[in-house]
Amino acid sequence: MKTVHVDTGRPYDIFIERGIIDRCGEYAEQLSKAEKVVVVSDTNVAPLYQWRVLNSLSQHGFKVKNHIFPAGEGSKTLDTIAEIYKTLADFRMTRRDIIVALGGGVCGDMAGFAAATYLRGIDFIQVPTSLLAQVDSSVGGKTGVDLPQGKNLVGAFHQPIAVLIDPDTLNTLPDEFIADGMGEVIKYGCIKDAAFFEKLENEDALSDIESVIETCVSIKRDVVSRDEKEAGERMLLNFGHTLGHAIEKIYNYTGITHGMAVAVGMALIARAGEKQGVTAPGTADRIIKLCEKYGLPTDTEVAFADMTQAAMGDKKTAGSKINLVMLKQIGESFITPLPLDELESFITI
């Protein structure tokens, strides 16, 4: 087992081990005084794993109930949150009871937001089953839902009491969802770890996935521990996301995954940085080549004007400016504020 300790306002551990999904009840019993547990999952993940989690929890004395919502980003809405609240209320959940988020990033975001807001906050455990969730979204306490105007515009910082990562769940993922997660994996090399980036270039990340997961969550752990509420350094984790979120919005969150959109965003921002003279020449080509190695797109038919318009609703806007994450070189990133009215010309290649 690999264990990564996260030292936030409420510390917790990330456990990485094959088969750990069957020990969810054991960890819940150690970490909580709950009597009841609601397992939140989606229509893709629930048929595969919910009974293993529910059985483990039941064997450790918990009263259990599940809540299943339709899979996909389109379900990441306040209407879906209201349905989760109804399940919690009907089950008479109390402040000592807990939620288990069983699924990918959408599930973790919504179950976490429900936990953050129901009864003004109850505990939850993350059991991420997608590569993207295992390397990124399950760690750090960001929860939230989308609005028609943009992604993750409603949310809260709410740390889990544990993250249980079972790499075996990746065996049931279609190739496009492995690629989806690799978008975030590559991001970590870009912003913080040149040696890790080079390893991804020279080796097959999937051949030693436990170490890849551990490296990514350790980088995120370090950043989040220093900046839990995204006042500064944590913004670096958004490399590629400003334009990526804009592309997702334009596609109405269908036909392109989050990691794929981020890959396009990273390539565009690296190209823009080279054009502006702030990013080392050749950086974009390395990012593009690595993204293509893992099946990720690096360009888009979306017009720069449309992308800029969509980006104006991004959370990273501050007044008339937007905070862009740029690279000096692979492994070294920085934040630069840019007037919104200059964004289109800045990214136009």
The single residue of 36, 67, 142, 221 carrying the catalytic annotation is: 142
Q: Report d(CA 79, CA 94) in Å as an integer.
A: 22
Q: Is 66 a catalytic site residue?
A: no
Q: Is 23 a catalytic site residue?
A: no
Q: Report d(CA 265, CA 332) in Å as an integer.
A: 17
The single residue of 192, 221, 228, 238 carrying the catalytic annotation is: 238
Report whether 185 contacts 200 (CB < 8 A): yes
The residue type found at 43 is T
Q: Report d(CA 177, CA 190) in Å as an integer.
A: 20
The single residue of 36, 158, 187, 258 carrying the catalytic annotation is: 258
The single residue of 220, 221, 249, 286 carrying the catalytic annotation is: 220
- Six token digits for residue 325: 């994450």
Q: Is 184 a catalytic site residue?
A: yes
Report whether 340 contacts 323 (CB < 8 A): no
Q: Report d(CA 194, CA 66) in Å as an integer.
A: 42
80: exposed, middle or buried (C-beta count within 10 Å: 0-12, 13-18, 19+)?
A: buried
Q: Is 241 a catalytic site residue?
A: yes
Q: Report d(CA 235, CA 227) in Å as an integer.
A: 9
The single residue of 73, 214, 228, 230 carrying the catalytic annotation is: 230
Quick one: which of 138, 159, 213, 226 has its CA closest to 182?
213
What is the three-class DSSP state of 126? strand
The single residue of 192, 241, 249, 286 carrying the catalytic annotation is: 241
Report the phi/psi class of residue 17: left, alpha or beta, with left for phi > 0 and alpha for psi in -120 to 50.
Answer: beta
The single residue of 36, 76, 151, 234 carrying the catalytic annotation is: 234
Q: Is 249 a catalytic site residue?
A: no
The single residue of 67, 76, 245, 249 carrying the catalytic annotation is: 245
Q: Is 258 a catalytic site residue?
A: yes
Q: Is 245 a catalytic site residue?
A: yes
CA distance to 72, 102, 267, 305, per residue, from 243 (Å)? 20, 28, 10, 12
**Residue 321 is inside which H or E element, if any?**
strand 321-329
What is the three-class DSSP state of 215? helix
The single residue of 152, 158, 184, 271 carrying the catalytic annotation is: 184
The residues facing 125 across adjacent strands are 100, 162
Report whether 190 contacts 197 (CB < 8 A): yes
Q: Is 202 a catalytic site residue?
A: no
Query: Active-site residues: which are they?
Result: 120, 142, 184, 220, 230, 234, 238, 241, 245, 258
